[in-house]
Amino acid sequence: MRSAFVTFVALTLWAATLQGVVAIPLRAVVMDGTPSNVQKIKEATEIANKQVHNMQAVLNGPNPKAHPAVVKAFGTNANIPEIKANVEKLANGKIVVPSPEPAAGITQGATNVNDKKVTFGSAFFNSDAKTRAGTVLHEATHAIHGAVDHFDQHGNPHPQGTTFDRTKAQVGYKDSHMEQLKAQASHNMHHNADSYRVFGEECPEARELFERALEEEDLEIRSHLVRRAGAACAYRPKGKGKAAHHAATHATAQSKAEARFARKSAKKAAKAERAAKKAAKGPAPAPKAKKGGPRRGKHA
């Protein structure tokens, strides 16, 4: 009874939390063109939208500043109010793609700083869905809330459309100067477009797990899904150790929970299999009746 009550309370609290983050999804308005290209853009946008919802769940959880996904994307001194505001804009925003055909001179994607329209290059259409989703998120941050790619030597952002010496600029891409910028100016990383792409990639599928829990009738499985979603989304650090230590501790606890759940599932399946075999054999035969007749006397 207590387990069922705890599960009910957890579900209720999570429902209340997620009600506050439900929004019109991030949308891509795509003009007519090659159907397969249009489909690839829409598919990537759907994944990106799910990632945005997961970001919201993390940011609405306790102590999001210490969440490993936030630290990975923005550093240890992230400006949570600004990040949260920008993610809300993404959740309610849209990008306009004037043509679904690969644009010349562009690899993944680009956003026009004047009209905020987004175009994609040949590399985008040749990438897997997850990579395309990251590109959609990156370009959406440019188009919707003015995120940037370049920072000066002190970690201050170069606003879109301004002139600066690119040879001295730091680039916020995850495969460029992101780590250096996080160490130098974490408080400014909410301006960095690629940080939201990393946040989306690092952010766990917590919302999907919770929605599955709401639909699950088996209390044991439901409780397991809620615990997984809670651990992923409402990450709560233990003490004041480093985020990496917390992440490792969380991963260990999570793997143990997964193992316990797997063992229970295996036992349940084995029990069901034995019951099925027993039912297939039919009812047990009735015991044979003893033959009648006079009893034999005892030997002298």
Distance CA 159, CA 173 (A): 16
For residue 275, how many C-alpha atoms fall within 13 Å in the half-sphere facing its CB? 6
Region 123-136: mean pLDDT is 94
**Residue 139 in contact with residue 109, Cβ under 8 Å?**
yes
- Shared-domain flag, residues 144 and 174: yes
Does residue 211 fall inside a structural domain?
yes
CB atoms within 10 A of CB 82: 16
Distance CA 140, CA 292 (A): 92
- Shared-domain flag, residues 85 and 173: yes
To which H or E segment does residue 262 belong?
helix 243-281
Distance CA 76, CA 79 (A): 9
Region 17-34: mean pLDDT is 69
Does residue 276 fall inside a structural domain?
no
Among 134, 77, 70, 125, residue whose Cα is nearest residue 99 = 125
- The predicted pLDDT at position 256 comes to 54
Give the list of residues 6+ apart from residue 169 with CB closer than 8 angstroms, or none: 150, 151, 152, 158
Residue 235 has pLDDT above 90, yes or no: no
Residue 150 has pLDDT above 90, yes or no: yes
In whole angstroms, how large is the CA radius of gyration of the chain? Answer: 28
Least confident interval from 124-128, 224-228, 241-245: 241-245
Least confident interval from 105-119, 237-251, 262-276, 284-298: 237-251
Does residue 88 fall inside a structural domain?
yes
Among 107, 133, 137, 134, residue whose Cα is nearest residue 120 = 107
| Domain count for the chain | 2
Give the list of residues 6+ apart from residue 236 with CB closer than 8 angstroms, or none: 61, 62, 63
CB atoms within 10 A of CB 232: 24
Residue 116 Rama label (left phi>0; alpha psi -120 to 50; beta): left
Beta strands in the chain (DSSP E): 27-30, 94-97, 109-111, 118-120, 150-151, 170-171
**Residue 7 in contact with residue 222, Cβ under 8 Å?**
yes
- DSSP for residue 113: T
Which domain covers residue 218, as residue numbers? 204-235
pLDDT-derived band at 267 (thresholds 50, 70, 90) equals: confident
pLDDT above 70 covers a percentage of the chain that reads 68
**189: CATH:** 3.40.390.10
- The predicted pLDDT at position 84 comes to 96
Task: Give the domain-ending residue among 235, 251, 280.
Answer: 235
- DSSP for residue 26: P
pLDDT-derived band at 57 (thresholds 50, 70, 90) equals: confident
**Residue 139 in contact with residue 184, Cβ under 8 Å?**
no
Does residue 194 fall inside a structural domain?
yes
- The predicted pLDDT at position 68 comes to 87
| Helices and strands, number each (H, E), in the chain | 11, 6
Higher pLDDT, 33 or 8: 33
- Shared-domain flag, residues 187 and 54: yes
- The predicted pLDDT at position 268 comes to 72
Tokens 């780590």: give the residue.
Answer: 179
- Shared-domain flag, residues 47 and 180: yes
Region 112-133: mean pLDDT is 94
Does residue 21 fall inside a structural domain?
no
**Residue 131 in contact with residue 112, Cβ under 8 Å?**
no
Higher pLDDT, 240 or 184: 184
Region 271-280: mean pLDDT is 78
Residue 90 has pLDDT above 50, yes or no: yes
- Shared-domain flag, residues 169 and 47: yes
Region 177-194: mean pLDDT is 95
Distance between alpha carbon 222 and the CA centroid of its chain, in Å? 19
Region 52-57: mean pLDDT is 88
